[in-house]
Amino acid sequence: MGIFTYARVSTLDQNTDMQVNALKAAYPDAVLREEKKSGSTVKDRFVLNIILDMIGKGDKLVVWKLDRLARNMNDLTKIIEDLNIKGAALEILDQKIDTTTATGRAFLQMLGVFAEFETNLRKERQLAGIAAAKDKGKHLGRRSSLTDEQKKEIRTKNQTGMNPTTLSKEYGVCRGTVYNVIKDMDTLPN
């Protein structure tokens, strides 16, 4: 029986120390893999997908907490289904869940529903915050790399025949930015 331990954080500035310590305490000789990727989907989580490809009959995938593995019910269900097909199990240390038992499988499904609910609430709060900021007239997103005056200059120079590549080099922006300025000529103030 092989034990595969998996630790994940969402961003590069976070660390997996707490997870790694708990996983090593429970399974000191297990293969430990770490990943820094968002948990909103398993699609781009290459380390997890490699583990899921490698895991076989009698093996076990161990994570510290459920949300380190999946944040939506569809991904969680697919992972559990894939593990079941391969004859492998899942253990979540923090919640003391082990899918080798019927109780563990049932409890895991309930936790998955709550994890997805929490993610949806977070998205709703974020969208409400964005809407409130827009209502207050706050600027959202990245600031423009060009002033209105520079945009006017680009528009004028382009109309006199200067090409976007030359303009992008002159103003230190990518060609796409120049093309957007040219495309939005009608919306620029005169």
CB of 43 within 8 A of CB of 78?
no
Nearest to 185 by CA among 163, 160, 162, 156: 156
The DSSP 8-state label assigned to residue 10 in this structure reads S
Q: Please give the angle made by the CA atoms of 122, 125 and 127, to the nearest 5 degrees.
A: 110
CB of 53 within 8 A of CB of 25?
no
Catalytic residues: 10
CA distance 31 to 27: 9
